[in-house]
Amino acid sequence: MLLVRTMPLTLIIPLTPTLSPRAGRGSEAPTLMPRYKLLIEYDGTPFCGWQYQDNGPSVQGALEDAVAALAGTHVRVHGAGRTDAGVHALGQVAHIDLEKSYRTDQVRDALNAHLRPHPIGVLSAEIVPETFESRFSAVKRHYIYRISNRRANLALDLHRAWRIARPLDIAAMHEAAQVLVGRHDFTTFRDTECQAKSPEKTLDQLDVTREGDAVNIVTSARSFLHSQVRSMVGSLVWVGHGRWTAADMRNALAARDRTACGPVAPPEGLYLVRVDY
């Protein structure tokens, strides 16, 4: 309220509160809607994927149930990457808008409590500007594909790596992988149901390394096509077995034909590691 002194009269002028762009109107006080950025890990084995679907439980659905239990209303959880069924995450990122402001540790702990017994962990929560978008603000996504190159069955890594009994030529795989680095038309390595407007992507990294029986395929890009990573991995395994060479990989890429792709690797070896902003 502002006092304006004139002669001989004092005027009292009410001040209108300034509302946030996302504040509620029609109420006496502005309603704040803070945006929270969530860092999430999960075992994708029991889920039909990240995105909510009618045919089974999803990571997004489990998170939205947990947020509803905290906030008392349904809130959409927006993820940075739409991982497929059986694919895991070490560093998925999502954002939510809540009508009430909570401490970030309260959000993290409440969501973890409501997520049990799902194999999902909210590692951290932080308040971010309302311009932050978990999907569209991302500048790079990092994935790792884990192969266990051994004859023995998997015990601790069951559903968390692809077991391949035949020996793999890692040097040949890495050489062929470099054919795919850069900006290309990845139609050959794109799922036929992919909804991306363009098959062109820029692949920043595709490295193949070995440590004992563990073979890791690490890749990064701003974004990927549907099943692109698993398609590339399956084709690299053909190289590792001597069925393809780096030249065959180059020819498959140039074909721009889905039927020219090698086998699609199973989902259990793939992890979303990190999203950069």
Compute mean pLDDT per 10 residues along the chain, 277 residues long, and list them.
46 40 41 88 97 92 98 96 96 97 97 98 97 97 98 98 98 98 98 92 98 98 97 98 98 97 98 98
Q: Residue 17: inside a domain, yes or no?
A: no
Q: Residue 1: inside a domain, yes or no?
A: no
Among residues 128, 151, 167, the one where a domain terminates is 128
Give, to the nearest 10 degrees, the angle between helix 228-240 and helix 170-177. 140
> Residue 32: what pLDDT?
67
Stated as kind and residue range, the H or E segment containing 200 is strand 200-211
Amino acid at 76: R
pTM equals: 0.87
Same-domain pairing of 105 and 148: no
> Residue 16: what pLDDT?
39
- Structural domain harbouring 40: 32-128
Same-domain pairing of 264 and 166: yes
Confirm whether 84 is a catalytic residue. Answer: yes
Among residues 83, 101, 128, the one where a domain terminates is 128
Among the listed residues 43, 54, 65, 84, the single catalytic one is 84
The answer for residues whose C-beta is within 8 angstroms of residue 241's C-beta and 6 or more apart is 166, 168, 169
Same-domain pairing of 124 and 148: no
Same-domain pairing of 179 and 260: yes
Same-domain pairing of 145 and 96: no
Q: What is the largest CA-CA distance in the chain?
A: 98
Q: Whole-angstrom Cα distance, residue 143 to residue 218?
A: 6
50: which 2 tokens? 């990240």
- Please state the domain count of the chain: 2
Same-domain pairing of 124 and 146: no
Among residues 107, 128, 149, the one where a domain terminates is 128
Same-domain pairing of 268 and 152: yes
Residue with tokens 């192969």: 147
